[in-house]
Amino acid sequence: MSVVISSEERHDEVAFSNTELTIEALEQAQLQVANAKSLIINLERIERMEDGVANFLLSWSNSVKPFKSFKLCAVNEEVSKALPEDLEILPTLTEAQDLIFMEEVERELGL
C-alpha cells in the first residue's frame, strides 16, 4: 500500500492509494510523520480495513493527543461503523483542517 504524506503549516495529512487499510501501511505512515505537528488521516479511498486497524488508530491517537491534534476525515459509512467512538472523525478534509487550526490557537492561548 502506498502512503501519501502532505505537509502543511499546522499539520501533516496522511492518505492512502489503496482501498484496504492495513496495519503495515499505518506503521509506515507513523514512521514518516513521527515529528508532525498535528495529523489528519484521510480515509477517502478506504473501503475496508484489516483486523486490528481500528485499535491501531485509537492507540496512535491516544499517544499523540496530549501534544497535538489527531483527526480522521472522509470516512465512508461502512468503515466508520468499525471505528471506535473515541476517534475524532470529520466529514471533510477542510473541516479537519479548520478544527486543527482552532485547537492550535487554543493551545497557544493556554485554553
Each residue's pLDDT tens digit, 9-18 = 889 999 999 9
C-alpha cell at 20: 484496504
Domain range annotation of the chain? 3-109
Q: What is the CATH architecture of 3-109?
A: 2-Layer Sandwich (3.30)
Each residue's pLDDT tens digit, 57-98 = 999 999 998 789 999 999 999 999 999 999 999 999 999 999
Residue 77's SS3 state is helix
- For residue 89, the model assigns a pLDDT of 98
- For residue 1, the model assigns a pLDDT of 60
- From 58, 1, 64, 3, select the one nearest 35 (Cα to Cα): 64
- For residue 24, the model assigns a pLDDT of 96
* Res. 109: pLDDT tops 90: no
Q: What is the CA radius of gyration of the chain?
A: 13
Average pLDDT in the 39-62 region?
97
Pairwise CA distance, residues 26 & 89, whole Å = 17
- For residue 63, the model assigns a pLDDT of 93
